[in-house]
């Protein structure tokens, strides 16, 4: 073997051993691009990250000057995560980067709100050629209703519940100590470092991330329970039977039967405390998800109408068409969705649809919807 000992080796299918050589990043931009493309390399925990914006503007200082944060992410619990990236060879990786990130952190609650972050995210998705609603739905994995998620983001911003990440290929000892000190002292803010070392060899690029500054005491104090359940039809209705009466369960059954008849497949959520399912309907080359049904964590199961997502689909891109759908739903006794619902994801309690023929009327509305999008038979 010609490669020097590096501590990381690959064994190929042919049994050959290849040593990987640690190499610095040629430019800071290389590491920034990797983080934008593969945010999972930041985690080192059950958290998942969604890129909201690269080079996010933050007003700070007495004259309101604009600084530019390297990356802004949200995690799956709606915690804003501010990321500054430096190479270990950059002298600013010590005190200057700490002051810079703390300066941004001190000003985000004044300069940003949840609506601004939504605008950032929509711009990022537009640049990437993706629909923002679809990207967010995929990220949330059916765990949390979108409106509820943005409300959580708003609450976290107002409460100062944010995360600061110092990222480099190597984090020097003095910066480690600063990070550890800040993380122990700042609550509910979390302050961490992430080393992302790069190894190359045998035509393979390998990234090795590690978390810096996470003490046991700070981790326990700031611990948040981790989501994650793989729901299916059986577990969904088992949960529903614990909190709902027979008429409500009957409504959920009708919505699922309709979904099975008209969908290419039914997607089951991964929420920790409540189950969900979403019909995935094909119309030509497009996928449509008209609504989601949630079992409710402590009762109150609902059906959430995906108006926000519909706005990105040709058949409902015009406001008048979404308003027509809203009017048809509001014509059902007991349903009273507000006017601004056409740009959000409002919900209807299943208990409302359990009376009389309301569930059947609801499904007739979505039979009409199928005709509007030109749905392909399942």
Token pair in block for residue 2: 């010609």
Whether 92 shows a pLDDT value over 70: the answer reads no
pLDDT of residue 1: 38
Is pTM beyond 0.85 here?
Answer: no
Query: pLDDT grade, residue 285 (50/70/90)?
Result: low
Q: Which residues contact 370 (CB under 8 A, 6 or more apart)?
A: 262, 281
Mean residue pLDDT of the chain comes to 84
Q: Scan for tokens 């600061």, then name that residue.
A: 164
Domain boundaries, the chain: 22-221, 233-372
In angstroms, the CA 302 to CA 304 distance is 6
pLDDT of residue 61: 63
Interval 318-332 mean pLDDT: 92
Whether 62 shows a pLDDT value over 80: the answer reads no
The partner residues of 210 in beta bridges, in order of sequence, read 195
pLDDT of residue 213: 75
Residues 6, 20: contact at Cβ < 8 Å? yes
Q: Scan for tokens 């005491």, then name that residue.
A: 217
Provide long-range contacts, Cβ within 8 A and 24+ apart, for 105-112.
105/162, 105/164, 105/189, 106/60, 107/58, 107/59, 107/60, 108/58, 108/80, 108/82, 108/157, 108/162, 109/157, 109/158, 109/160, 110/59, 111/58, 111/59, 111/60, 112/58, 112/80, 112/157
Query: pLDDT grade, residue 187 (50/70/90)?
Result: confident
Helical segments of 64-221, H only: 95-111, 114-128, 132-140, 146-159, 173-185, 216-221
Q: What percent of the chain has pLDDT over 70?
A: 88
Whether 120 shows a pLDDT value over 90: the answer reads yes
pLDDT of residue 216: 45
Q: Is the dihedral of CA 159, 65, 169, 10 positive or negative?
A: positive
Q: What is the pLDDT of residues 218-233, one digit of tens each?
A: 554 555 444 457 789 9
- Rg, the chain, Cα only: 24
């Amino acid at each position: 073997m010609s490669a020097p000992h590096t501590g990381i080796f690959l064994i190929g299918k042919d049994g050959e051993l290849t040593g990987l050589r640690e190499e610095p990043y040629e430019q800071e931009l290389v590491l920034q691009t990797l983080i934008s493309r593969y945010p999972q390399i930041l985690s080192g925990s059950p958290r998942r990250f969604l890129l909201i914006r690269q080079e996010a503007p933050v007003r700070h200082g007495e004259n309101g000057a604009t600084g530019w944060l390297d990356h802004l992410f949200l995690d799956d619990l709606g915690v804003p995560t501010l990321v500054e990236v430096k190479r270990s060879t950059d002298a600013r990786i010590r005190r200057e980067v700490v002051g810079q990130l703390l300066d941004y952190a001190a000003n985000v609650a004044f300069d940003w709100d949840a609506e601004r972050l939504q605008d950032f995210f929509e711009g990022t998705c537009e640049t990437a050629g993706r629909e923002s609603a679809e990207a967010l739905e995929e990220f949330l994995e059916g765990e949390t209703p979108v409106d509820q998620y943005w409300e959580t983001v708003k609450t976290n911003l107002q409460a100062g519940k944010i995360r600061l990440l110092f990222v480099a290929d190597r984090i020097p000892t003095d910066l480690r100590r600063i990070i550890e000190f800040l993380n122990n002292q700042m609550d509910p803010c979390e302050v961490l470092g992430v080393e992302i070392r790069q190894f190359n060899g045998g035509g393979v690029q390998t990234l090795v991330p590690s978390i810096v500054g996470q003490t046991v005491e700070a981790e326990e104090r700031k611990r948040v329970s981790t989501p994650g359940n793989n729901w299916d039809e059986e577990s969904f209705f088992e949960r529903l039977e614990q909190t709902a009466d027979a008429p409500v369960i009957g409504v959920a059954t009708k919505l699922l039967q309709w979904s099975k008849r008209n969908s290419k497949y039914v997607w089951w959520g991964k929420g920790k405390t409540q189950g969900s399912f979403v019909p995935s309907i094909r119309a030509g080359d497009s996928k449509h998800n008209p609504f989601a049904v949630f079992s409710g964590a402590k009762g109150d199961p609902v059906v959430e109408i995906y108006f926000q997502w519909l706005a990105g689909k040709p058949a409902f891109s015009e406001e008048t068409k979404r308003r027509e759908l809203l009017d048809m739903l509001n014509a059902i006794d007991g349903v009273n969705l507000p006017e601004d619902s056409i740009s959000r994801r409002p919900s209807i309690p299943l208990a409302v649809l359990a009376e009389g023929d309301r569930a059947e009327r609801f499904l007739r509305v979505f039979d009409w919807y199928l005709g509007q999008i030109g749905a392909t038979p399942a």
